[in-house]
Structure 1
Amino acid sequence: MGIPILDLTDALHPGAPRSAEVAAQLRQAAMGSGFFYVRHHGIAAEVVQQQFALARQLFEAVPEATRERLSIHHSPTQRGYEQLGAQTLDLSARPDVKESFYCGMAYPDDHPYVQAGYQTYGGNQWPPELPQAPAQCEAYIQALLALSRRLMQLLALSLALPEDYFDATSASPMLSLRMLRYPAHPADADAQTFGAGAHTDWGALTILAQDMHGGLEVCMPDGSWVPATPVADCFVVNLGDMIPRWTNGLYHSNPHRVRNTRSGGQPRFSIPFFYEPDFMARIEAVPGTVPAGEAPRFAPCTAGEHLSEMYRRTYQLKTKTPAGTDTGVGAEVAA
């Protein structure tokens, strides 16, 4: 079993002629590993390449002292720089061999969710050496948001729901963009050393741009791990933990991990975009997913409550780890 490629040609807009065909393919992938590639997704290759160039500048041109001043620990929204080894996604493994930079959608200060202090809503931190970064990242976020909304429409069709079923849940979405750098896998690494340990994502969708080195591995339904080999001009998409809640477990959010062992000693760069719906969006089993006479597998909640619960669990787990090991509280995960 592999990871399928969904071609979005003639399926990128509501009512497009291939929408039902692509939705059926999405359903099959979602009931398996919860992973698929998308090609002909409407985002120019140059836009993605420019984002990778910015990621390289963040880690290779911005001085380390500047990056440290932009630590996520200085940000109430957990945006900014996260140093090498600061996160441990798999608590049975060693700290992750990666560093990253987080940013998010530029909501204005007078937005009610910003004023309320809701998780993920607020300002970014930027290095002065890269004055183009705020506008470039906002443009990339807006492009990926449009793709996320379209994928949610196709997901609705895959569940025999109206194409616009999830549209209202995206009024003020929770969004995170993460730029990651994985150094070469340590030569003396043991079996418990990963660039990113096995984990699932917390939100609804993750849209990943990865360089051509590879290293992402996906756990399939039979428990085997397969590489998500880079495919030119394709994103890798995976479903996060909100989707099983929305589909009563019909669709899957599967574990994945990273080991930078295929780059010939070069660093690996990847750029995951995490789409989560509006903080107040209701997450409950959609029509047609709960068998007659049975209760839903998950209690209804809002997207914000789901995210807050994931943070609470992370805090509780953090207390069980060795002193000084950060499990990534307040931060989205990796790919």
Structure 2
Amino acid sequence: MGIPVLDLTGALVPGGPRSAEVARAFRSAAMASGFFYVRHHGVDAAMVERQFDITRRLMALPIERREQLSIEHSPIMRGYEGLGAQTLDAAMKPDLKESFYCGMDWPADHPYVKAGYQTYGPSQWPAELPDVRAHCEAYIDAMNRLSLRLMQLMALSLDLPEDYFDAACHDPMVTLRMVRYPAHPEGADERTFGAGAHTDWGAVTILAQDAHGGLEVQMPGGSWVAATPMDGTFVVNLGDMIPRWTNGLYHSNPHRVRNLYSGGQARYSIPFFYEPEYLARIVPVPGTVPAGEAPRYTPCTAGEHLQEMYRKTYGLQKQAATEGAA
């Protein structure tokens, strides 16, 4: 079993002539690994390449400057995160990656900003790279449109109205993360990963990856397969909110990264994380709970779920640091 490719030709707008066909392919992928490629997705290749250029430029800033933009200075974790700051797999060493987080700059008078909800608020931008903000915001806008369309196709795949999830995605929580993985260290042990095995936390992740590869996906039987880069595609995967929303019908499978194939070069990737708005209720959609059975997951809001995941992964890193000092 491999990772399927969904061609979005004729399915990029509501009511598109191939929407039902693509929704059936979506359902098949979602019930297997929760991973698939999308091609003919409507995002210009030049925009994607420009985003990789921005990523390289951000990571080329002096380390002292990057640290001035640390996520520690942002209440909503926008900015730079250094090597080893995150541990996605508790059984492994801290992840060998550094990244820059940004998102939609919501106005200060938005009620979610006033409430201090995660992801709602300003990003940190480097003044010496004045074009970065505008380019990132344009890319986020393109990813928002594609993400919403994927949510609509998911609704169709569940035999629901195409706009079933639209209301929950009115003011979405979104994060654009630009990631640099250094070359895998020579002589590294089996507990060393660029990103340890994990599932994503939210609804939909759309990943642009460079030509080096390194992403591996766990299939339903437990085997790991490479998500080999394919020109003109994104890798899409479903996050942990989707099993909650579908009562376990759709899957959020583990994946991991090892930068083994770049010939000693850095690997760059750009994941975009899309979640419904903070107060959206995550309860099983109609038709997913068998008659007479209780839901498999405790109902919650999208924000409650996301906060729990943040505490878990960054708490693991703090625990590892404490144990290492003992």
TM surpasses 0.5: yes
Aligned counterpart, 1:166: 165
* Amino acid paired to 1:19: S
Q: How many angstroms apart in 2 are the aligned matches of 1:5 and 1:191? A: 31
Structure 2 residue matching 1:177: 3-state secondary structure: strand
Deviation per CA, 1:11-53: give whole Å up to 9, x if none. Answer: 0000000000000000000000000000000000000000000
Q: Which residue is 2:141 aligned to?
A: 142
In the alignment, the residues of structure 2 paired with residue 94 and residue 314 of structure 1 have an alpha-carbon distance, to the nearest angstrom, of 13
Structure 2: state its 5+ residue gaps.
Answer: none
2:65 corresponds to: 66
1:276-315 alignment to 2 at 5 Å?
Answer: 276-314=275-313
Which residue of the partner structure matches residue 204 of structure 2?
205
Instruction: Specify the code of the residue in structure 2 equivalent to 1:40.
Output: H
Unmatched segments (≥5 aa) in structure 1: 326-335
Deviations, residues 123-179 of structure 1 (Å, cap 9, x unaligned): 111111210111111110010000000000000000000000000011110000000
Q: 2:21 aligns to what?
A: 21
Query: Alignment partner of 2:151: what SS?
Result: helix
Distance 1:171 1:269 in 2: 30
CA gap of 1:261–1:319, structure 2 versus 1, over 3 A, is closer
Give % identity: 71
**Corresponding residue for residue 40 of structure 1:** 40
Q: Which residue pairs with 1:328 in the alignment?
A: none
State the distance in 1 between where 2:174 and 2:83 align. Answer: 23
For residues 300 and 135 of structure 2, the distance between their equivalents in structure 1, rounded to whole angstroms, comes to 34
TM-score (norm 2): 0.97
Q: Secondary structure at the match of 1:278?
A: coil
Instruction: Work out whether residues 98 and 179 of structure 2, in 8 Å CA contact, stay in contact via their aligned partners in 1.
Output: yes
Aligned twin of 1:329: none
Deviation at 1:314, TM superposition (A): 3.8
Shift of 1:324: 8.2
Q: 8 Å contact 2:86–2:314 — kept in the other structure?
A: no
Partner of 1:333: none
Q: Superposed, which structure 2 residues align to 1:110-189 within 5 Å?
A: 110-189=109-188
Secondary structure of 2:173's counterpart equals strand
Partners of 2:27 and 2:314 in 1: CA distance: 34
1:240 aligned partner: 239
Aligned residues: 324
Residue 106 of structure 1 pairs with residue 105 of structure 2 = yes
Question: What TM-score do the two structures reach when normalised by structure 1?
Answer: 0.94
Shift of residue 318, structure 1, vs aligned partner: 4.8
**Where does 1:221-236 land on structure 2 (aligned, <5 Å)?**
221-236=220-235
Deviation at 1:188, TM superposition (A): 1.4
Cα distance, 1:316 vs structure 2: 5.2
Q: Distance in 2 between matches of 1:110 and 1:264?
A: 49
Q: CA deviation at 1:59?
A: 0.7
Q: What secondary structure does 1:266 align onto?
A: coil
State how far apart, in whole Å, the 2-side matches of 1:258 and 1:64 are. 23
Amino acid in the other structure paired with 2:217: V
Using a 3 Å threshold, how does the CA distance of structure 1 residues 316 and 194 change in structure 2: closer, same or farther?
A: closer
> Which position in structure 2 is the counterpart of 1:194?
193
**How far off is 1:315 after superposition?**
5.7
Q: 2:85–2:317: 8 Å Cα contact kept in structure 1?
A: no
Distance 1:324 1:270 in 2: 31
Q: CA deviation at 1:308?
A: 2.1
Query: Kindly tell me: are residues 24 and 100 of structure 1, through their superposed partners in 2, closer, same or farther at Cα, counting changes over 3 Å?
Result: same
Indicate the larger mover: 77-86 or 313-322. 313-322
RMSD value, Cα: 1.2
Aligned amino acid, residue 282 of structure 1: R
